[in-house]
């Protein structure tokens, strides 16, 4: 990727603005219960690995996390005013159907600058149980050396709202549980296909264990 083709770096100030907007919206519309936020390293690069069962999961994490977050978000969401807004608050547009070099460069840049990158490792919205992981998370973790913090969002799909069926009921409780940071690599620094496959397997075990623990903690 040449300098001329490189996408502009996502705005750290924009991500902080997004976090503040998220705080107001998430706590205004619902009742987030946040557990384990103290586990997130206060400085340095971090990758949030977030389960994804509902469209509010990303904004919820943005609003309750202790640090501003740059999420990798499917390019289909970047349409019209919403697209300009997402870019303005430091979010990253990614083409899920190709090796998006611009998005990869931006994401690695966030980590190189000591920022927080948010990833839905399942690739798309589903059951939110980390059952099917893509290799992207392992690549970013192994390439950057950044620790992964597992994040479980629970309660967003319990039942539809009465006013807006596509959203959880207003003022309902949504739990966000942050886990212990861990390294995905084996310490060798290898980025071969075999190393990434092994890292993906380690990641899946950690994320699945965290989700089970989060469900026990929250009773969900």
Burial zone of 198 (CB within 10 Å; 0-12 exposed, 13-18 middle, 19+ buried):
middle
Pick from 93, 90, 155, 161: which is nearest to 128 by CA? 155
Q: Which pLDDT belongs to residue 123?
A: 60
Q: What is the dihedral of CA 82, 85, 91, 95, to 10 degrees?
A: 30
Cα atoms found within 13 Å of the Cα of residue 59, Cβ hemisphere only: 17
Q: Profile the chain (220 residues) by mean pLDDT over runs of 10 residues.
A: 56 93 94 97 97 88 96 92 94 85 92 95 60 76 95 82 72 95 84 87 93 94
pTM over 0.75: yes
**Per residue in 20-44, pLDDT tens?**
999 999 999 999 999 999 999 999 9
Q: How far apart are CA 77 and CA 89, in angstroms?
A: 14
Contact between residue 173 and residue 72 where contact means Cβ atoms under 8 Å apart:
no
- The ranges assigned to domains in the chain are 31-216
Q: Which pLDDT belongs to residue 192?
A: 82
Q: Which pLDDT belongs to residue 131?
A: 55
Q: Which pLDDT belongs to residue 187?
A: 76
CATH architecture of 31-216: 3-Layer(aba) Sandwich (3.40)
Q: Which pLDDT belongs to residue 7?
A: 66
Question: Where is 31: in which H helix or E strand?
Answer: strand 31-35
């Amino acid at each position: 990727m040449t300098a001329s083709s490189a996408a502009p770096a996502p705005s750290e100030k924009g991500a902080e603005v997004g976090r503040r907007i998220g705080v107001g919206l998430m706590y205004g519309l619902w009742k987030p219960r946040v557990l384990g936020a103290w586990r997130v390293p206060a400085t340095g690069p971090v990758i949030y690995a977030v389960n994804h069962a509902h469209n509010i999961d990303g904004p919820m994490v943005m609003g309750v996390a202790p640090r501003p977050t740059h999420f990798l978000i499917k390019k289909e969401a970047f349409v019209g005013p919403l697209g300009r807004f997402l870019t303005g608050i430091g979010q990253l547009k990614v083409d899920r159907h190709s090796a998006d070099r611009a998005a990869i460069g931006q994401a690695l840049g966030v980590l190189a600058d000591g920022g927080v990158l948010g990833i839905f490792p399942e690739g798309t919205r589903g059951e939110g149980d980390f059952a099917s992981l893509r290799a992207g998370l392992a690549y970013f973790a192994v390439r950057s050396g950044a620790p992964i913090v597992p994040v479980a969002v629970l309660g967003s799909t319990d039942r539809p709202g009465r006013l807006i069926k596509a959203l959880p009921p207003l003022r309902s409780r949504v739990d966000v549980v942050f886990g212990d940071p861990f390294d995905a690599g084996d310490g060798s620094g290898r980025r071969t296909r075999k190393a990434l496959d092994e890292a993906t397997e380690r990641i899946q075990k950690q994320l699945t264990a965290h989700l089970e623990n989060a469900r026990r903690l929250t009773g969900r």
